[in-house]
């Protein structure tokens, strides 16, 4: 989880720093952090958060943001570079939203470990229905 938090520190989001790491067979396969797509100015570069400017509540209207989520970026990196993540574990600093949950399930991720909560109960219902193991990280957990 320490590595996940370090990756999250690279985020270009002003509102929340989120990191994600996909691990398979005890190896880091890909990493991701929340930030603008290649060639798009980030909120840091713009000097303002679009979501704050529009007064959008956390956990709602994820599409109204310049950044892609950390989980999305980790999944995209796997696709871009042909990295097999089927059966992997995704470690994330924050509980995934419903959009990320759908992508995680479809990518074949079988376990999600997160540290901080996020106001999206529907994502947890989808994980449960899909049979994805979801665990809240605790500081004394081994092999983090």
Q: What is the pLDDT of residues 40-74, one digit of tens each?
A: 999 999 999 999 999 998 878 888 999 999 999 99
Residue 5 has pLDDT above 80, yes or no: yes
**Residue 139, pLDDT score:** 82
> Taking residues 4-12, what's their average pLDDT?
96
> Taking residues 102-118, what's their average pLDDT?
96
DSSP string, 2-65: HHHHHHHTT---SS---EEEEEETTEEEEEEE-BPPTTS--HHHHTS-HHHHTTPPTTS-TTSS
Q: Which of 5, 48, 52, 71 is catalytic?
A: 71
Of 26-35, 97-106, 111-120, the one with minimum mean pLDDT is 111-120
Give how far Cα 96 sits from Cα of 41, 45, 129, 136, Å: 24, 25, 15, 11
> Taking residues 125-141, what's their average pLDDT?
92
**Residue 144, pLDDT score:** 47
Phi, psi of 101 (to 5 degrees): -60, -45
Residue 112 has pLDDT above 70, yes or no: yes
**Residue 140, pLDDT score:** 74
Residue 32 has pLDDT above 60, yes or no: yes
Query: pLDDT tens digits for 16-26?
Result: 899 999 999 99
**Residue 119, pLDDT score:** 80
71 catalytic? Reply is yes
């Amino acid at each position: 989880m320490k590595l996940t938090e370090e990756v999250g520190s690279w985020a270009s989001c002003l509102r929340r720093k989120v990191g994600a790491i996909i691990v398979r067979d005890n190896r880091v396969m890909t990493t991701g952090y929340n930030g603008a797509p290649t060639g798009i100015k980030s909120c840091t570069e713009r000097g303002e958060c679009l979501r704050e400017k529009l007064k959008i509540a956390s956990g709602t209207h994820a599409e109204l943001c310049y950044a892609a989520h950390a989980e999305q970026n980790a999944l995209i990196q796997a696709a871009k570079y042909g990295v097999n993540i089927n059966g992997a574990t995704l470690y994330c600093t924050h509980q995934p939203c419903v959009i990320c949950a759908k992508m995680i399930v479809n990518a074949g991720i079988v376990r999600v470990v997160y540290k901080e909560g996020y106001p999206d109960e529907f994502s947890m219902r989808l994980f449960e229905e899909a049979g994805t193991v979801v665990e809240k990280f605790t500081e004394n957990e081994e092999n983090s």
